[in-house]
């Protein structure tokens, strides 16, 4: 699948912060993100807004800003319904929607109340079969002039290879620069690679508090088997996963001032990323981090 790899620019935003906020505030924030000049806006999906209707809310509030799901949970939808949502948004907003797919719930993952139970299919085979069913879905209406952009949430080599073969590329989350280099090597030069980089803007004097925020965030992923397995593949010990030392959080996050964050963005791009989307982490995750997004917008010209 070929597309313009510059379509989302080199620097974007990734956020869960819109969940739980009023729709009007979300629309206003999306319009400001577009005005600030970010190349794309990625939204997560968990126990808040449904991903594709959330994407429509954001697309309707903006004029040119690309919006991507990072990710839409496959186990929440049949392949036909996912394909229908993708087709609807691609028709309504040509060239502006990216469907990020993920959340295959393999055996061994923790159950989440209200979500489908894990299945026993191997992840790569299960996702491949899901893509097959999406491609085979019979939908009323003319096909789009060009296929929509799809990416897969991918961490391990098998899923990265599948992403490179079957979709536009991969979207990675909670990863190191070394992982970005491995992802590029695995997929080859052509597939798209979007990296979500979690940042904790902080002056040097506040580093202890910033480290505490970062450690708390990592702890929330201890039940995510795929994330833990990936961090172990990258050489982190269980003690580090449990919070020992700072090597883990310093490798996963950009903690510090704007130049520190810019340096980490450059490292991911140099390692093979086509696009880096910044997830701003603050002690108060209940607010939309507009002030931080405005400050980080100063980096946009550097990566244009």
Q: Which of 30-44, 52-66, 120-134, 148-162 has the lowest mean pLDDT?
A: 120-134
Fold of 11-303: TIM Barrel (3.20.20)
- What's the rounded mean pLDDT across residues 196-223? 93
> How high is the pLDDT of residue 109?
47
Helices 177-187, 157-166: crossing angle, 10 deg rounding: 50
Place of tokens 């992403």: 163
What pLDDT shows up at residue 118? 47
Q: Residue 49 is encoded by which pair of tokens?
A: 């807004």
| Residue 260 reports pLDDT greater than 70 | yes
Q: Pick the residue with more confidence: 182 or 107?
A: 182
Q: Do 101 and 79 touch, CB atoms closer than 8 A? A: no
pLDDT, position 126 = 93
| 106 or 6, higher pLDDT | 6
d(CA 107, CA 288): 35
∠ CA 58-20-200, nearest 5°, is: 85
Check if the beta carbon of residue 61 is closer than 8 Å to that of residue 30: yes
**pLDDT for residue 225 is more than 80:** yes
* pLDDT, averaged across the chain: 92
User: What is the distance between the alpha carbons of residues 64 and 171, in angstroms, rounded to a whole number?
Assistant: 21
pLDDT band at 114 (very low <50, low <70, confident <90, very high): low
Integer Cα distance of 276 and 198 in angstroms = 10
Q: Across residues 118-133, what is the average pLDDT?
A: 83
pLDDT band for position 108 (cuts 50, 70, 90) = very low
CA dist., res. 120 & res. 39, Å (int): 38
Q: pLDDT for 135-191, tens place per residue?
A: 999 999 887 777 789 999 999 999 999 999 999 999 999 999 999 999 999 999 999
In this predicted structure, the answer to whether residue 116 has a pLDDT above a threshold of 80 is no
Q: Is the pLDDT of residue 17 over 80?
A: yes
pLDDT bracket for residue 224 (50, 70, 90): confident
Q: Among 5-9, 98-102, 106-110, which stretch is predicted with the lowest mean pLDDT?
A: 106-110
pLDDT on residue 112: 55
Average pLDDT over residues 10-23: 97
Does 107 have pLDDT greater than 50? no
pLDDT at 96 over 60: yes
How many residues does this entry show for the chain? Answer: 304
Write the pLDDT tens digit of every residue in 177-194.
Answer: 999 999 999 999 999 999
Q: What is the pLDDT of residue 106?
A: 44
Q: What pLDDT is recorded for position 47? A: 87
């Amino acid at each position: 699948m070929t597309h313009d790899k510059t379509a989302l620019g080199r620097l974007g935003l990734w956020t869960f912060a819109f969940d739980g906020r009023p729709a009007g505030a979300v629309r206003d924030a999306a319009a400001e993100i577009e005005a600030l000049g970010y190349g794309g806006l990625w939204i997560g999906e968990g126990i808040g807004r449904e991903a594709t209707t959330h994407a429509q809310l954001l697309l309707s509030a903006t004029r040119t800003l690309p919006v991507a799901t990072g990710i839409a949970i496959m186990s929440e939808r049949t392949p036909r319904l996912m394909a229908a949502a993708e087709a609807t948004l691609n028709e309504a907003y040509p060239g502006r929607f990216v469907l990020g797919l993920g959340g295959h719930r393999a055996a061994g993952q923790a159950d989440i109340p209200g979500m489908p139970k894990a299945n026993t299919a191997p992840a790569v085979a299960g996702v491949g079969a899901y893509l097959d069913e999406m491609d085979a879905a019979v939908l009323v209406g003319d096909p789009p002039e060009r296929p929509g952009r799809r990416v897969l949430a991918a961490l391990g080599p098998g899923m990265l290879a599948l992403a490179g073969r079957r979709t536009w590329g991969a979207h990675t989350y909670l990863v190191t620069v070394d992982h970005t280099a491995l992802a590029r090597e695995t997929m080859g030069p052509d597939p798209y690679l979007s990296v979500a980089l979690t940042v904790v803007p902080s002056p040097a004097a506040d580093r202890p508090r910033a480290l505490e925020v970062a450690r708390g965030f990592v702890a929330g992923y201890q039940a995510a088997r795929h994330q833990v397995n990936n961090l172990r593949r990258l050489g982190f010990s269980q003690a580090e996963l449990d919070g020992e030392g700072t090597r883990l959080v310093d490798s996963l996050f950009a903690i510090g001032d704007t130049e520190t964050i810019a340096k980490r963005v450059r490292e991911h791009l140099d390692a093979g990323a086509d696009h880096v989307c910044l997830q701003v982490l603050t002690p108060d995750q209940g607010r939309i981090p507009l002030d931080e997004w405005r400050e980080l917008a100063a980096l946009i010209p550097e990566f244009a």
